Amino acid sequence: MSAAPKIDNPLFDKRLLNAFAEGVTKTLQMMANTQVTFGKPTIENNYVLRGQVAGIVGMTAPPLRGQLTLSFPKDAILLIIENMLGEKNTEITQEVCDAVGELTNMIYGTAKTSLNQLGYNFEMALPTVIHGEFTTDFKGITLVMPVKLNATTEFFVGISVS
């Protein structure tokens, strides 16, 4: 296996972005029979989560450290859950939070496999799910990709690396 690419900021490595986009696309197609499109990615300092529920997983590939965040507004996660389970929910329940954790795990796992084949050495990690009113204290730069489920519903993938 070759060494990880030498770049100043891994967020500018298009292969990193593509690996996470592929993870989202494959996971939502397989688990929820849901097609997605991506909005224009942005770079944000001191990223603030958007939504009512989020899955977060720490990413370590020495010397890189960071986190993957899937941040869901209520309407987005309830649409995904309806597509996954065939049940219509109106509230974010423990079952919905469990599904967010599983989706986060699968998306990270898919991206990790692709990136490690490129020479990164991302380690296994377990996701954490947060729900309700929350803030995070990740300081640094985050690449934020809007993921559109339809014309009016989207969620956000944040990739933070320090």
Q: What is the CATH number of the domain that holds 133?
A: 3.40.1550.10
The top-scoring range by mean pLDDT among 90-94, 116-120, 134-138, 158-162 is: 90-94
In a domain, 53, yes or no: yes
CA distance 104 to 51: 15
Would you place residue 9 in the very low, low, confident or very high pLDDT band (cuts 50, 70, 90)?
Answer: low
Over residues 100-145, the pLDDT tens digits come to 999 999 999 999 999 899 888 888 889 999 998 776 666 778 899 9
* Count of domains for the chain: 1
Handedness of CA 63, 48, 127, 32 (dihedral sign): negative
For the entire predicted model, the pTM comes to 0.88
In a domain, 5, yes or no: no
Question: Which pLDDT belongs to residue 5?
Answer: 46
Residue range of the domain that includes 45: 10-161
Which of 33-42, 138-147, 149-158 shows the lowest mean pLDDT across its residues?
Answer: 138-147
For residue 9, CA distances in Å to 43, 79, 93, 158, 159 come to 12, 34, 38, 15, 12
Percent of the chain with pLDDT over 90: 61
In a domain, 4, yes or no: no
